[in-house]
Every structure is written in C-alpha cells, then in structure tokens.
Structure 1
Amino acid sequence: MPVGDFLKAVKPLQKQYKKDSIIVVMTGGEPLLRPDLPDCGMDLRKNGFRWGIVSNGLLYTEEMHNRLLNAGMGSVTISIDGLAGTHEWMRNSQHSYDAAMNAVKLVASSPRLNADVVTCVNQKNFGELNEIHATLLQTGIRSWRLFTITPIGRAASDKELSLSNEQLMQLMDFIVEKRRDKRMKTSFSCEAWLGKYEEKVRDGFFFCRAGIHIASILADGSISACPNVDRNLTQGNIYKDEFIDVWNNRFEIMRNRNWTKTGKCAECNDYSICEGSGLHWWHGERKEILRCMGKV
C-alpha cells in the first residue's frame, strides 16, 4: 500500500480528534520488510501523527534504529519468545534470537522511546520465564508484556503453542510475583478478562478496545480493529469507503457486544463485567468463545 493512500484515509480524523491523540502503529507480519518504512514514518510525523512499530527484531540493526529515530518513531515493541533455542524454534529462524536481543538493547538505550518486549508464552518457553526475566533485565529494557496464543489457524491443532488452565494460573501468579520487582514492569496483555486476577497482573481493569479506541487498515485496505480479529468483522475498505465515515457509522458489532451473550457466556454471572472478553476470542460463526480465561 502506498503511504499516500494511508494518509489520505486517516488525515480526515484530525478534524475530529486532536492530532497527538492518534497513534499509528505499523505491525505485520513484519513491518521492517518494507524498505521505505522510515520514510513512511517521516510522512506520518510531518502530517502530525505519532507512530511506532511492532517488530520481530530480525532486521532491526543500529542503522535502521537511527533511521527510525530520525523519522520520529516514538514507540517500539520487540518480540522475544524464549531463550535462544526456544525463540528460534518459535520463529523457525536460526540466529533470530541474537538479532532480536540486539534490537532490545538498541531500543532500551534510547530513553525517549516508549519501548517494551512482548513474549508469547507457550509450552516450550513456559519453564524459561524466570531466565527470560533475568536476561531482559540485563538489557536495560523497562517493560515486559506476556500474552498467550489464540487457538486459530495452525495454533488450533498445535498443542505446544497453548497453555493448560493450570499453567495459565501459574503464569498469572508468576506475573503477580514479578510485578513486585520495580526494575522492570511485568504485565499480562490486554487479551482477556481474567476474573480474580484482574488489576493484579496489569494496570487498570480489562476493557476490549477493538473497534472502540482501536481501528486498523490492513495491507489490502480493509478496515477492521485489532489485526487478530476475525476477518469476517471487516467493516469496509479504504479503496471503496471513506475511513472516517466507516469509523463514525459502522463498527456496531464491536461497540454493542450483546451478541456475545451466547454459549457459556449466556449464563455467566461475570458477563456484565467482561462482556464476552476480547473480541479476538470470537471466530467463525461466533457461537462460543474460544477460551474463557476468567474461569480457569
């Protein structure tokens, strides 16, 4: 997608919102596969948009780091999915761990960046979490977010990628413990309602912002919310629709979640609080939530 097409779609938002209240995050896939990414960022900043990236770090060299900083990048997230062997198993790429750790050190060395590391917790790295924590502390990074995989696509049948209910509880207890260590802020992602662990493993109370505070423009121009939300929930396309009109007049299915009161959610006493948990847990015919983390 030409950056001009993206800017044409989002610039009308500045008539409705303060410029600095809008943050553009370029993710993927891998955004650094796009060689003109710093130029795209510069164009965003010149037009008044704050911006950042989410990267696997493989192409995040010192040269690229400096180019992104000079283009006005304000936030960056790097994925570290285990110690060396586990990370490279997850990424199916040799030497990817060293590149990613170098990226973490680079972003940690730039105080003006809002930088963090994310880790997808799975069967392979579950027993490494303490070592990962210690390793990240040595890099100087100050924020670590952990999340689990959504059981869709290949992850639906690969048992090594998902945690058991018992492991999920152990993960929550691990995060509670590490949050006492103020050298690095450890937290769970915004992915789900967590029942008794709410406000213990992250700042604030669960609230799924998909389609409420978050919209996305995908590579083909599709307009949706978080990129991991079911493609059936796409609300339009910038090559056919005005983005601001779609934002203001569609997204009803994301802003009124009453349709999630079905299956096990229908009789749940916590429904008025969680409202069906994260939107990415509803796929296909959306008759049942893929996983309820509040009841483990």
Structure 2
Amino acid sequence: MSGLSIKQKIALELQRQLILDQKEKHPLRQLFWESTLRCNMKCRHCGSDCRVSSLHPDMPFEDFAKVLRRIKEKYDSHKVMVIVTGGEPLMRKDIEQCGRAIYDMEFPWGIVSNGLLMTPKKIDGLLRAGLHSATISLDGFQDDHEWMRGIQGSFRNASEAIRILANEPSIKFDVVTCVNNRNYEKLADFKEYLIALGLKSWRLFTVFPVGRAAQDPELQLSNERFRGLMEFIKATRKEGRIKASYGCEGFLGEYEGYVRDNLFTCQAGSSISSVMIDGSISACASIRSDLAQGNIYKDDFIDVWENRYQPYRDRSWMRKGECAECKYFRYCEGNGMHLRDENGDLILCHLKRLDK
C-alpha cells in the first residue's frame, strides 16, 4: 500500500489534536437507545439476541425518559441526537409516542430500521412525531437482500420506504448496505437502482468477523475485494451522483479523506453513549457488554458520562500486539472499540487488509 500524502498527514495531525481536545471535554453528541430486542427478521449476520418475541422485555419509555431529563438538566438538548435502535424499533407499538416525547423534550431524534414495517402510514406518523433522521438497511437486489435478511417481501417494503424517505426534505436519510460476496459484483447496478429511488446518501459497510459472521464465507470479503470496495466508493464519490461512504470503522491509510466525509476516529465514549435494553450505559451498540460503564437503574447517567469511560478516552492500553509498533497508531488508536476481543486483542485491522 502506498503511504499517506503530505495533505493527508497534515489533516490527520490536525484531527489528532481535535480528538485529544474532544476526549478531554467529551461533549455528548449522540445517544443510542436500544429500545427493544424484538425483531421481525432473521438476519444471518446479526450479532444481537433478537427475535420476534424476545425473552427480554422492551425498556419502558419512562425509564429512558428519566435519562433524557437528566441530560437536559446538564446539557443543551438540541445538541444531543437520540437514535432509537433495536432489535427493530418499529416492533414497539408506542414508537410514535416515544418519538413525540423525545421531540417534546427538545432532543432531535432518529431511527434505524430494517424497513419491513416502514409503511407510508407509519412514515407519516413518525414525521408528525418530529422525526429528524432515519436509516434503512437494503443489502442489494431482491435475491441478495432477502437471502441476507431471511424474510420474503422485505426488499419490496424497504424499497418503497426508501423511495418515500429519500424524497422527504425535512429529514436526514441514508441507506446502509452490508457488502458481501453475493452483492459485491452488483454494486454498480445497485447504485443505479438507489439513485433511481431518489437516494442521496449511501453508507456501505463490511461485517466484522465475530460469531456467526466469522464462520460464513459469503459474508467475508477477500482483501482484494475489500480494496475493490474502497475504489468503488472513491469513484462513486468523485462521480457525484450519490454520496457513498464507507462505515465508521477502520483506519484506511491511503483512502483516508477519500471514502468518508471525515477522517477515521472512534467516537465511542468521547461523544457517543448508549442506553442498552437492560439499562447498561455503554457507547456503540456493537461494543462488548463488559465494557459498559454503568447502569441507569443504579447509577446517575451524568456522573457516569462525566467521570467514567476511561478505557474509551485513554486508549494507550490498545497499543499492544500488532498495534504495538504500528506507525499509524497515533491516528488509528487501535481501531474501533467493538473490534477488541475479551482479552483486549485486536480482531481486525483494516489497514493490514489493504496492505496485502
């Protein structure tokens, strides 16, 4: 892999200083709420314990609302984006009431959905509840999407929801696609399909090799195809017809500044927090449960946010193993928190994938 350009090095050094400042001040900017573990799909790559009828009950909204009221006492609620996740959040019958209550507390809010229940009527209800942003998953054309999601008819439903939301000027909207060996060679055609639906923003990601995903060869791209994906995103962005971006994980070396709007940094615990289904206070939903920093049922959220999260804000402990002598550690800081195993060892290095 070719090295970084002078321009990239300067940009990365400037960002590094901003990151250090952010970790010291840790302004809360995003709060994920794992509102349910129930889900109406059977995704082959899912890392959650999700099913139509979960053994774990949905979190009562009032429990989460107490956290929001506490945040509002301390911070400017307009600057904290609340993102409702699951499971599938639309499985909650009270989702619109939850959204309206979040909006009434003056927090912008968004939703991450598989799109199966995102009917025109449901979209209208969410918009009236003050919806600020939405993300829908679509993993290729019908055969590939429904192979991944395990539900017939899911492609049609998601596509119709995308068509409506992509042309709704009042919200920020994107589609997220899991790139795998089934849909990789169809990405160019799929891009045209999304553009025809009116989509402006498209986020592509690859599954990290944990659990079921690690054992499924269809889900794991070769290093050659991973580099090909970077080239595809770079070319698509240059073309300018749709804004394609690679997901937030991974330092990408020579591709930094070319495949995302921002340079790589893991914001977990610095500006991003989460309230999980059991009340755990964590960061991104993909991070191991033992890295939770507290629980809303016994801890004050503000105290946890302001005084804990040390493993997130000082990542010197990550400089071991293959990261120990890496010259890019000052920019990467050991990749995302969700890519560390129970021993703290790195599961996946994106830079190494590009270097082979």
Coarse TM-score class (shorter-chain normalised): over 0.9
Residue 237 of structure 2 is aligned to residue 190 of structure 1: no
Please report how far the alpha carbon of residue 158 of structure 1 lies from its aligned counterpart in structure 2 after TM superposition: 1.1
Residue 242 of structure 2 is aligned to residue 177 of structure 1: no
> 1:221, 1:237 within 8 Å by CA — same for their partners in 2?
yes
Please report how far the alpha carbon of residue 259 of structure 1 lies from its aligned counterpart in structure 2 after TM superposition: 1.0
Q: Which residue of 1 aligns with 2:276?
A: 218
Give the structure, 1 or 2, with the largest relative contact order (CA under 8 Å, sep 6 or more).
Answer: 2
* Structure 1: distance between partners of 2:189 and 2:114: 20
Residue 351 of structure 2 is aligned to residue 291 of structure 1: no
Identify the range of structure 1 (34-43 vs 14-23) with the bigger mean alpha-carbon deviation.
14-23
Q: Which runs of 5+ in 2 are unaligned?
A: 1-58
Please report how far the alpha carbon of residue 225 of structure 1 lies from its aligned counterpart in structure 2 after TM superposition: 0.4
Q: Which residue of 2 aligns with 1:86?
A: 144
* Structure 2: distance between partners of 1:283 and 1:32: 31
Structure 2 SS opposite 1:162: coil
Please report how far the alpha carbon of residue 291 of structure 1 lies from its aligned counterpart in structure 2 after TM superposition: 1.1
Identity fraction in percent: 47
Please report how far the alpha carbon of residue 131 of structure 1 lies from its aligned counterpart in structure 2 after TM superposition: 1.3
* Structure 2: distance between partners of 1:241 and 1:135: 47
Structure 2 SS opposite 1:88: helix
- Of 243, 268, 281, 2:326 maps to 268
Letter in 2 for 1:52: G
Aligned ranges for residues 131-280 of structure 1 at < 5 Å?
Answer: 131-280=189-338
Please report how far the alpha carbon of residue 84 of structure 1 lies from its aligned counterpart in structure 2 after TM superposition: 0.5
Structure 2 SS opposite 1:187: strand
> 1:10, 1:243 within 8 Å by CA — same for their partners in 2?
no
> 1:212, 1:255 within 8 Å by CA — same for their partners in 2?
yes
Aligned ranges for residues 20-99 of structure 1 at < 5 Å?
Answer: 20-99=78-157
> 1:196, 1:294 within 8 Å by CA — same for their partners in 2?
no
> 1:193, 1:278 within 8 Å by CA — same for their partners in 2?
no
Identify the range of structure 1 (15-24 vs 211-220) with the bigger mean alpha-carbon deviation.
15-24
1:16-55 CA-partner distances (Å, limit 9, x unpaired) = 3212100100112211111110100000011111100010
Provide TM-score, normalisation by structure 1: 0.98
Aligned ranges for residues 108-123 of structure 1 at < 5 Å?
Answer: 108-123=166-181
Please report how far the alpha carbon of residue 231 of structure 1 lies from its aligned counterpart in structure 2 after TM superposition: 1.2
Alignment length, in residue pairs?
295
- Of 175, 186, 198, 1:128 maps to 186
